[in-house]
Amino acid sequence: MKAQDIADLKQLIEFLKEYQVAEFDLDRGDLKIRLKFNQPGASSAGASDLACLLTAAQAAGAPPAAAPAEPAAPANPEVSLAAETDVCLHTIKSPIVGTFYAAPSQEAAPFVSPGDQVAKGQVVGIVEAMKLMNEIESDASGEVVKCLVPSGQPIEYGQPLFLIRLG
């Protein structure tokens, strides 16, 4: 994509957000763009982050491409791990797009590690989105089996972060 195309896309995203458009599709020849925005009350970081990702891809010299139709489907380690252990595992997923951090600072210990017991509502990580730090809380009680994302890695909405053995 050209720099002007990226600027136009950013402007389109802002326009759609301003008028609270939930979904937008554009199909021009080989260019296909599909944008889905979170409903009111949910985080709206996804659309802004899409524009930032497009800019970063252009700067990195990535080949021209349209916005993905859906967020990239992360590998699902839950399935293989659940099959190996034959145990019911719960997945804590990211509620927003951003950068995952396992600890409050680089020097600090992680919020949770495999083998730790967590309670519902306990902070298990942080996702930085648009310079805001969002605490990620466990939505179940149990034992942390695995952290699926290394600290400092960009993550998608709905991406699995932790596997919890309920109990």
Per-residue pLDDT of 11-69, as tens digits, reads 878 877 777 777 777 777 777 777 777 655 444 444 444 544 554 455 445 444 444 44
Q: Could you say which of 15, 33, 59 is where a domain stops?
A: 59
Same domain, 88 and 159: yes
Q: Is 72 domain-assigned? A: no
Q: Is 18 domain-assigned? A: yes
Q: Is 66 domain-assigned? A: no
Distance CA 38, CA 33 (A): 17
Distance CA 45, CA 97 (A): 6
Q: Could you say which of 59, 89, 104 is where a domain stops?
A: 59
Q: Whole domain around residue 22: which residue ranges?
A: 3-59
**Nearest residue to 90 via CA among 13, 147, 165:** 165
Same domain, 39 and 119: no
Report field, pTM of the whole predicted structure over 0.75: no
Contact between residue 84 and residue 137 where contact means Cβ atoms under 8 Å apart: no
